[in-house]
Structure 1
């Protein structure tokens, strides 16, 4: 780090300490004040990951006070809106991600509701569009619509279609949601200028994204396999334009996902990451029945001829099947 960078870090540290001191004085013996202090300590300018101690403190404070999750969401949002420092912004996003993963189901849904209501915007338009910060924020925007179920897997928080739509439609919607989230994952791919702030902070964020993407890819792979089994066993599969789009998208997305994982293996070392094997899907992986073609019986073309008795005779051009009408 050059002299200018060291001075900037020192000044930032002084600002952090001043802000923490102010929060301590103004919020003595109050949950809101304790939240302010914990958020400031989690999102300082130091070259260090988000401190687990303060993440757990925030989970405890918000989980034991009615309505505190909404208050917490507002404080995180204001911290993100007020900063123009890349390190602080990245740490704030990582903090939000950690809270989403660390809270119980009620806490998680409350954060998602706050985001849906506009109380937790992730607007970072003052940072470059190609920066990791913007791409990570876009991932979190989509991630806010997902929750961790009892089995530890990610699933959409709310069904994308009403239950009356039927299992086939729900399966297609779930596959589509998986593909959308995986798109945001691949968009976080590291590049030559991908680092915002200290390198290890970005790697820390990427590690969380990777772990969650493994779960989502497993769900997608399982559902996609179920479509194939249904089709191969004569169950008819899933027909229509939606199924065709999913198959075509999978054919382009799975190679990108494999390349993304290969690149992350190269740059993220020393992490306990259990990368899945990504099977490359081709457009021909789903039978024609699943894609809406080839399974429908051709319609008979009927020819009308006047019979010798004055009536009309109908004949199938395909099978010679006759019938008579008057």
Structure 2
């Protein structure tokens, strides 16, 4: 097994160096192609910051949309071609970080691209080269589902939940809220189910088996965990708003609202269990997990 693992590492390094060499000779987007290969190489460590920053720069608002589209195409190709869990998870990390930290143009172009090809839906991905690779492959698939749902949630909400700034509902309010606190009934009944589906995918990102202790999985999981806080706040503020207007709703809307309310209670319990599970990980040392409180009718 040790010899096989060493061979895979050497073969992966050779493939990476070959791709870099080809990009230097053949690519119109040489610097970007090299940055993508190096950021998503076969080395079992998080993408190096200097390569990720080059990708941020290549997808900034000052670049032509064609450049942004090319970057997404190159990442999609990298993801679809690989059978190595390390390359797959690092490609997803690059996509996730660019969504979180990059320019909004990347998210907009990615949404257009995903509607055409759904490249984040990698339900058949597997790396069966070792027990670790098998367990990590399962987590890669759930991570991809979360990112796909994140895009769908943005499509429905028309804003990115992670980049939202909490605001006060009035100048005299003592506490800042998510914008769901101020939505009308129709908007709530559309947006809350989308947020709850996103939270469902997030809670599904629970590493099992050997993946539980893997540093690269934990690095990606930390990005997911950071998003759980704002998603939960948005749902909770929306539920408070929903409860306030519950008795003024039509019967049809009230039935929908009650289903949303029930699911919120169930998800609060599931999220608390997920946090407890994650508190056993090394990454938990850097997190302050919030208290979860359910709104009552």
TM-score over 0.5 (shorter chain): yes
Q: Is the 8 A contact 2:192 2:238 kept in 1?
A: yes
Q: Is the CA contact (8 Å cut-off) linking 1:23 and 1:36 kept in structure 2?
A: yes
Which has more radius of gyration?
A: 1
Residue 109 (structure 2) aligns with: 110
Q: Partners of 1:193 and 1:174 in 2: how far apart?
A: 36
2:274 maps to what in 1? 260
Q: Which moved more, 1:5-14 or 1:68-77?
A: 5-14
Output the aligned Cα RMSD: 2.6
From 211, 217, 221, the equivalent of 1:206 is 221
1:87, distance to aligned residue in structure 2 (A): 0.6
Match of 1:174 in 2: 191
Structure 1 residue 250, shift from structure 2 partner? 1.9
Give the drift of 1:278: 1.5
For residue 269 of structure 1, give the secondary structure of its aligned residue in structure 2.
helix
| Shift in CA distance, 151/139, structure 1 to aligned 2, threshold 3 Å | closer
Aligned partner of 2:242 in structure 1 is 227
Deviation at 1:120, TM superposition (A): 4.2
- What's the offset of the Cα at 1:280? 4.6
Equivalent pair of 1:255/1:280 in contact (CA under 8 Å): no
Please tell me whether residue 139 in structure 1 is matched to residue 146 in structure 2.
yes
1:36 aligns with 2:33: yes
Q: 1:93 aligned to 2:100?
A: no
Q: Which runs of 5+ in 2 are unaligned?
A: 127-133, 155-159, 167-182
CA distance in 1, matches of 2:150, 2:83: 23
Q: Does the 8 Å contact 1:74/1:119 carry over to 2?
A: no
2:120/2:147 contact within 8 Å kept: no
- Over 3 Å counting, the alpha-carbon distance change for 1:79 and 1:138 in structure 2 is same
Cα separation, partners in 2 of 1:237 and 1:267, compared to 1, 3 Å: farther
CA distance in 1, matches of 2:294, 2:242: 16
**In structure 1, what is the equivalent of residue 129 of structure 2?**
none
How do residues 1-326 of structure 1 correspond to structure 2 at under 5 angstroms? 2-27=2-27, 30=28, 32-63=29-60, 64-66=62-64, 67-118=66-117, 120-127=119-126, 131-145=138-152, 146=154, 147-148=160-161, 151-152=164-165, 167-194=184-211, 199-231=214-246, 239-269=253-283, 271-280=285-294, 285-286=296-297
Q: Whose relative contact order is higher, 1 or 2, with alpha carbons under 8 Å and at least 6 apart?
A: 2
User: Given that residues 42 and 54 in structure 1 are in contact (C-alpha distance below 8 angstroms), is that contact kept between their aligned partners in structure 2?
Assistant: yes
Shift of 1:122: 3.5
Q: Of Structure 1 and Structure 2, which has the larger fraction of its residues in helix?
A: 2
Residues 277-319 of structure 1: per-residue CA shift (max 9 Å, x gap): 12256xxx33xxxxxxxxxxxxxxxxxxxxxxxxxxxxxxxxx
Cα offset, 1:235, TM superposition: 5.2
Q: TM-score, normalised by structure 2?
A: 0.80
CA distance in structure 2 between the partners assigned to 1:189 and 1:116 by the alignment: 27
> What TM-score do the two structures reach when normalised by structure 1?
0.73
